[in-house]
Every structure is written in structure tokens, then in C-alpha cells.
Amino acid sequence: MNRFDLIYLILAIHLNTAALAENYQNIWAVRIDGDVYKAKDVARSNNFEFIRKASFSLDAFDDIYILRHKDLPNNHRMKRQAVEHDQILKNDSSIIWFEQQRSAIRVKRSAIFPSPSKSNRSISQNEKLRNLWDTTRQFMFSFGMNQNEVRHQFNDELWPSQWHIHSSGFSRFDHGITRVWDMGFTGKGVVVTILDDGLEWNHSDLHANYDHNASYDMNDDDPDPTPRYDLFNSNSHGTRCAGVVSMIPQNRKCGVGAAYHARIGGIRCLDGDVSDIVEANSLAFRNDYIDIYSASWGPSDDGLTVDGPKMLAQMALERGVAHGRKGKGNIYVWASGNGGSRGDNCNCDGYVSSIYTISINSVSESGHFPWYAEKCSSTLAAAFSSGAFSDKKIATTDIHNTCTREHSGTSAAAPLAAAILALVLEANPNLTWRDVQHLIVCTSEFSPLLDERGWRKNGAGFLYNSRFGFGLLMAQSLIQMAIRWDPVPEKYICIVQPKQLFPQEISTKGDMLRVYFMLEQNQGICPIRFLEHVQVKITLETTRRGNSRMFMFSPQDTMSILMYPRLKDNSRQGFRNWNLTSVHYWGENPVGLWRLYIQNSQKDGSILKLTNVQLILHGIRQPGGCFNHRPFRRYLNEDLITQVTAPVAEFNENSPEQFDAFFDNYE
Ligand SMILES: *[C@@H]1O[C@H](CO)[C@@H](O)[C@H](O)[C@H]1NC(C)=O
Ligand SMILES: *[C@@H]1O[C@H](CO)[C@@H](O)[C@H](O)[C@H]1NC(C)=O
Ligand SMILES: *[C@@H]1O[C@H](CO)[C@@H](O)[C@H](O)[C@H]1NC(C)=O
Ligand SMILES: *[C@@H]1O[C@H](CO)[C@@H](O)[C@H](O)[C@H]1NC(C)=O
Ligand SMILES: *[C@@H]1O[C@H](CO)[C@@H](O)[C@H](O)[C@H]1NC(C)=O
Ligand SMILES: *[C@@H]1O[C@H](CO)[C@@H](O)[C@H](O)[C@H]1NC(C)=O
Ligand SMILES: [Ca+2]
Ligand SMILES: [Ca+2]
Ligand SMILES: [Ca+2]
Ligand SMILES: [Ca+2]
């Protein structure tokens, strides 16, 4: 190959990635110090056209407007940012902030192609644990907790296939949903909205629960979220997600929703350009009226993307938790992603890792971590969905007034979790968004998921796992605890600066950057005594981003892996002010020394350079929730804890040659 060919090849690769890259639109979101008239003035004087206020709902983002530059025709697309127009806006002192809009890549989280190489994982990896499981099961039986459906015989055609509710068949365990129905909770008075590619609201198994007031079409800017029909049925996803929550029982049609009296809304936002404005309006839509938003989509799961909410979507989430549900905060349920077979890590997805979202992973019918699922330290809990080829998928409604048994991936797990949380909010509507997260931590169970490795116990006594968070969602325990819940007190945030100076740089395999954070006992500095989320906000420059492995020990010696190496990620962009979130330290006292390690996992000469890092602690000062009594947590079968959390080798930061073995062994 001569030099010219080489250049050509590089160009071609560039063009290819450019085609995948986000497209810039010819509109800007602009925050202006003033009202609509002022905004029109600003537009005129800068040669922009005033389009409208950014917000569809009444009070969200009052001072943000959409402007278009007059030189750029309608629907004009460009590959690059229009910096020259940015310059003009920068010069105007009444403009507080602005951002050119882009159509982001947003992928639905159904798992369509089972990976043959991993489809054998449903066969138990560990016979010993399976036997342990049977012990638990007998234990559960002895408490009458796994009784099968005698009373719940619905005439709906898919009811026999809804194993994720009644656990007949292969599944040895269940969420306890029917027992909650028996207690009288079916989602009455709770509003759940599916953010997706539309909702076929006149479907005869959804129509009676459909709520116009919780619905909108952000793509076409009209109140009707009916999906766009095409030959490939490419917009069936939202309707499938909605059925999981709210199918009508006992009507001989399709199945039964897990919260079958919850009202269901749909926001159509994925069938078109998904700009920051579209996402923000969807996440902020009628947030006093809607209780729970369920999202089964996000940035590409290709294993090389790092992306999350942009400015307006981030503001929408913050508004939702601060003001939504009349101040108690909206519940945002998020699918944790389907990039497992591509080596993706859900902490590279800023929607999943946001502290405002409840991110939910899948568990297969056989109690396994599915081939498509992703690991990360921000996943809070798990719910049933599809798994290996031999496992059943999820039965639900489909477009054209039909039904399907084929819903799959974390796309099905998230709405199932949303439905379970609708039952919880019916039982106690006073719960805040943080109460709901605490309840999940305080009730999820590891014992249904014993076949998988990676269970560890943190310093507060909670079992956690990068695959499943705190374990399988348990509807009955959630509701029993929710009814007598001691509200979680006011939240504090502490920002801890590291002890070293920057930048630091490493290049060889096994080499590590060490960062220590010291939190002194002195109450004045940080009042938190019980942790919620812990974040490491990092700027890491890299010549190959996927090489970085990041993990951190708390003062109680709890280790959380904040970032796994991603083999496919050869980006040179690094992480820029990226929040790595962990829920694994939940309930611990943060006082003491925190040790963060950043390791180059490959021997390819790549360079990692740390330019900025902070430790951000979220938590409470006084006990609340389940922190009132020690131990904070009692599990259904305490005897199994020591057996699943087998001891691991001591981590020795001075022997890099042992790291690979340490990590292989650890999880
Ligand atoms: C911004 O303002 C400065 C001085 O006020 C001026 O020199 C410059 O040309 C302006 N830039 C643009 C793009 O209007
Ligand atoms: C899966 O397991 C079966 C039976 O144990 C075996 O015959 C088959 O080769 C396995 N497939 C793969 C892809 O490993
Ligand atoms: C739902 O609406 C669509 C489009 O208006 C229509 O074609 C379809 O027949 C309706 N389905 C039902 C079950 O009413
Ligand atoms: C929806 O909104 C309309 C108009 O504001 C109101 O009349 C109606 O009662 C609302 N529906 C529900 C189910 O709350
Ligand atoms: C919710 O709050 C109201 C008013 O404070 C109270 O009367 C009610 O008992 C609470 N409900 C639950 C389940 O705690
Ligand atoms: C990172 O976390 C901090 C603290 O929770 C928050 O203020 C900030 O908005 C987050 N950044 C992003 C991009 O989510
Ligand atoms: Ca429409
Ligand atoms: Ca039905
Ligand atoms: Ca992902
Ligand atoms: Ca989250």
C-alpha cells in the first residue's frame, strides 16, 4: 500500500464514523435573560429567526427559546458545529447560555439477536450454588412465599405465558406481584408514562387504562402519540413496553399488566430527531401529573460510546426530582442497556448512571445474567426479562391491536420495574424519589440470583453486585416496608478534593494512578453519616479510552468497579467531567480514606492522563428509611450470605502482575 492509499483509507474510516456521528441541526436552544419580546429582539439583532419557546409544558424552562440562524435553511443538517454562529451569540450579553441542537443516536433496548457463544450460560455455572438455591427455595416455601397461582386464573390468552408475574414454568422465583394484588394494590391512582416511539392507545388491551393527559407526541408536536406505521413495524416498541405495565385483565385479550389499574400514557419522542430539546420536553412533560416515567432506550450500546443527557435533559431530570409529583419528585425508571455482548459498561451511559434514574438490569427466567446485559456500579436492581434461547421472553401488547410473546432485553425489565413501583406508590403516595431508591436497596434480594458470581457485602451490610445492583425487585417486601416507611431525611452533598496534584500520567500495563481522598471526622466539613450515591467526577485524557479500569475502596474497604475496560473503545476523547456513579457504598459512613485506582489494562503504549477528579458524596446525616435499626438489612436467607460472598485475595497495590488474576477472581 502506498502512502496515498493509506491516507485514503484513513479518510474513508473517518467518513464512516462521521456518518454515524450526531448531526447538527440549524436550531439553537438559547437561554435569555428576559421574556418572549426580549427573545425576539435578541433574535432579530443577531440575524436569527425566533421559532418558539423551548418548552411544551407550561412552566418548564421558562427562559429558554428556540432560534434558527437565517443563513441556514429549514431542516438544514451539518456534520460540524456552526462555530461562527456560536461566536455571534457569545457576543450578546443578554444571552446566558446557548447550545446548537443535534440529533442524538438513541437506541431502543430490545435484545433481538441472541449471541450463540453465550447462549449456554443458562446451564448453571456452579452446581454448588444451585444446591444452595434449592435450600432458599425450600425456606421460601416454608414461609408460604412461593405459592403458585391458584386464585389468579385470568382468561387472557397470554396469561399462561406471563411467567414474569406468576412464575409457572422454569422460573424458580418471582417478584411477588400476585401477592401484592392480593393485598389490594393494582396501581390505582398512579400514572405511568412510557417515553418511546409512540403508543397505540386505541389497542383494545390498553385503551381503558390510557390517559390522554399523560401523553404527547414530541416528534410531530401534537397530543396524539399513536406510532407511525411502516412495513417493518419498527415503531412497536413503546406499545410493547406499555402493555407490561397496564394491560387490561380478564378481557380475553393479550395479557395482564403488572399494575393493571395504573393509568398509562405515552410520549412519542424516538421517531424523529432526538435533540436535547425533545428529550428535555419529554422528561419534563406534565411532571405534576405523571408519577413514573419509563425509558427503555439511550445512547448506542456499541461498546465505544460515552454519552448522556445534555444541558436541557439534565435540567429536566433535576426539575423532575425537585418539583415533580408536587415536590416529592418523579420516578424515572431506566433500562440499563443491552451492550453486554459488545463489552459495553452501563456507566458509559449518562442516563443510566444519573443519580436521578432508577436503572434496572434484566434477569432471565432461569435466574441468570443475560447475554446482552451490561455490568456497572450504578445499576440499582433487576427485573425479569428475556435471556438465553431456551428462556422465555415477555408477553405483552403489540401494534395493530395484536399481542406478542417476544418482548425482550432491558426494554422489558424497565417497564416491569415501573409497574412494581406503581404498586408501591399506590401503597404509599407520600414517598419521595429518594424514598423509592432507599426502599429498593432495603428490600431487593440476592438469593434468587445465586447462580451468578460477584456478590459482595458492603460496610453497611447490603449485598451488591455489578450485574444486578442490590438484587431482584421484591414487590411484596417493597410494599410491606413502604406502608410503614420512615421518610428519608434531607439530603446533603459533599465534594471532596483529592490529596494529590495534577496532572498525573501513566502508560504501561498494570501501572496505576492512585488518588486518595480524605474525609475528616469533623462534622462541619461534611455532615453525611449514611451514604446514598457516590460519584467520581473525572477528566481523564487517554490515547485509548477503552483501556482504563477504575475502581475505588471506601474507608470500610468496600470495592466498587467504576469502569471496566471496554475492548472496542479506541476513542482518543477520554472522559470529560464524566460522573462515574456507584450505589455500592449505600448506607456506609463516609468518614476516612477513599482510595481510587485508575489502571491501564493493556500493554499497547497507550497513555492515560488524569487532569481533574473529585469525589462527590450524596447522603444523609440522621438515620431514616431502614437505617433506624441495626442491622439495616435482614435477608430472606441469611445463611447463604457467607457462601455467596466467598473471600477474595487481598488487593495489593504494589504487585501489578497480580491485578488480572485479582479481577478475574473478584467477579
Ligand atoms: C463581538 O464583539 C466584538 C467587540 O464588541 C467585535 O469586535 C466582534 O467583531 C464581534 N464578533 C462577532 C462575531 O460579531
Ligand atoms: C451448548 O451446550 C450444548 C450441550 O451442552 C453443546 O452441545 C453445544 O455445543 C453448546 N453450544 C455452544 C455454543 O457452546
Ligand atoms: C386504532 O386507530 C387506528 C388509526 O386511527 C385504526 O386504523 C385502528 O383500526 C384503530 N384500532 C382499534 C382497535 O380501534
Ligand atoms: C384530563 O384533562 C382534562 C382537561 O384538563 C380534564 O377535564 C380531565 O378530567 C383530565 N383527565 C384525567 C383522567 O385526569
Ligand atoms: C401520607 O401523608 C398523609 C399526610 O401527611 C398521611 O395522613 C398518610 O397517613 C400518609 N400515608 C402513608 C401511607 O404514610
Ligand atoms: C455530575 O454530578 C454532579 C453532582 O451530582 C451534578 O451536579 C452534575 O450535574 C453531574 N453532571 C452530569 C453531566 O450529569
Ligand atoms: Ca401524532
Ligand atoms: Ca388483557
Ligand atoms: Ca450501554
Ligand atoms: Ca441511575
Pairing of strands 191-196, 292-295: parallel
Q: Atom 8 in ligand 4: which residue has the minimum CA distance?
A: 213
Q: How far apart are CA 298 and CA 295, in angstroms?
A: 8
pLDDT the model gives residue 389: 82
Q: Locate 356 and state its grid cell.
A: 436521578
- Of all protein residues, the one whose alpha carbon is nearest to atom 1 of ligand 2 is 120
Around ion ligand 8, which residues have CB less than 5 A away?
156, 205, 247-248, 251, 253-254
CB proximity list for 301: less than 8 A, separation 6 or greater: 107, 109, 337, 338, 339, 342, 344, 374
Whole-number pLDDT of residue 147:
46
How many Å from the N-terminal Cα to the C-terminal Cα in the chain?
Answer: 44
User: pLDDT digit string (tens) for 329-340?
Assistant: 999 999 999 999
DSSP run (H or E) holding 534: strand 530-542
**Using CB atoms within 10 A of its CB, is residue 83 exposed (0-12), middle (13-18) or buried (19+)?**
exposed
> What is the amino acid identity at position 187?
G
The number of beta carbons lying within 10 Å of the beta carbon of residue 38 is 14
Model pLDDT for residues 523-551, shown as the tens digit of each residue: 678 999 999 999 999 999 999 999 999 99
List, in order, residues 6 or more apart from 595 with CB less than 8 Å away. Answer: 514, 515, 516, 552, 553
Q: Mind giving me the DSSP string for 38-76?
A: HHHHHHHHTTEEEEEES-SSSSTTTTEEEEEETTS-TT-
C-beta separation of 199 from 266 below 8 A: yes
Residue found under cell 456452579? 126
Q: How far is CA 62 from CA 33, 55, 56, 97, 478, in A?
A: 10, 7, 10, 14, 37
Residue of 336, 411, 548, 560 marked catalytic: 411
Residue 289 Cα: closest atom of ligand 4 = 14
User: 329 with 487: CB under 8 angstroms?
Assistant: no
Q: From CA 449, how far away is CA 426, in angstroms rounded?
A: 28
Length of the chain: 667
Q: Is the Cβ–Cβ distance between 300 and 107 less than 8 Å?
A: yes
Q: What span, in angstroms and rounded, lies between the C-alpha atoms of 61 and 331?
A: 20
Ligand 1 probe mutation, 91, 92, 93, most atoms within 8 A of CB: 91
Q: At residue 172, what is the residue type?
A: R
Q: Report the pLDDT value the prediction gives residue 509, as an integer from 0 to 100.
A: 61
Q: Which ligand is closest to the CA of 198, given by its number?
A: 7
pTM above 0.85? yes
Q: CA–CA separation, 350 vs 364, rounded Å?
A: 25
Closest to 419 (Cα-Cα) out of 292, 317, 296, 285: 292
| Listed residue (412, 348, 420) closest to 378, CA to CA | 348
Q: Are strands 216-217 and 456-457 parallel, antiparallel or unpaired?
A: unpaired
Burial of 98 (0-12, 13-18, 19+ CB in 10 A): buried
pLDDT computed for residue 504 by the predictor: 79
Measure 91 CA to ligand 1 centroid, in angstroms. Answer: 6
Residue 496 CA to ligand 6 center (angstroms) comes to 14
- Residue identifier of the C-alpha nearest atom 5 of ligand 4: 213
Our mutation pick for probing the ligand 4 site, out of 213, 216, 291, counting the most ligand atoms within 8 A of Cβ, is: 213
Quick one: which H or E segment has residue 18? helix 3-20
H or E segment to which residue 293 belongs: strand 292-295
Q: Is 164 left (phi over 0), alpha (psi -120 to 50) or beta?
A: alpha
Give Cβ neighbours of residue 68 (< 8 Å, ≥ 6 apart). Answer: 26, 27, 28, 48, 49, 51, 74
Cα separation, 48 vs 41, in Å, equals: 10
Q: Is the CB of 430 under 6 A from ligand 5?
A: yes
User: In which residue ranges of the chain is pLDDT below 50?
Assistant: 1, 4-20, 115-128, 130, 138, 141-150
Closest C-alpha residue for ligand 3 atom 9: 400
Residue type, 545: R
**pLDDT value, residue 245:** 98
Atom of ligand 1 lying closest to residue 88 CA: 13
Q: Give the nearest ligand 4 atom to 212 CA.
A: 1
Residue 264 is which amino acid? I
Q: Distance between alpha carbon 610 and the CA centroid of its chain, in Å?
A: 26
One-letter amino acid identity for 292? Answer: I
Bridge partners (DSSP) listed for residue 382 = 361, 472
Q: Which residues contact ligand 6 via a Cβ below 6 A?
A: 314, 350, 355, 535, 537, 579, 616
Q: Residue 62: its pLDDT value, please?
A: 83
Could you tell me the domains of the chain?
A: 23-103 (3.30.70.850), 180-427+475-483 (3.40.50.200), 492-620 (2.60.120.260)
Strand arrangement of the beta sheet that strand 548-553 belongs to: 512-519, 592-600, 548-553, 559-563
Whether 196 is catalytic is yes
The SS3 of residue 416 is helix
Q: In the prediction, which pLDDT does 82 show?
A: 80
**Best substitution site from 430, 478, 480, 483 to test ligand 5's pocket, by max atoms within 8 Å of Cβ?**
430
**DSSP run (H or E) holding 492:** strand 492-496
Q: What are the grid coordinates assigned to 57, written together?
A: 409544558
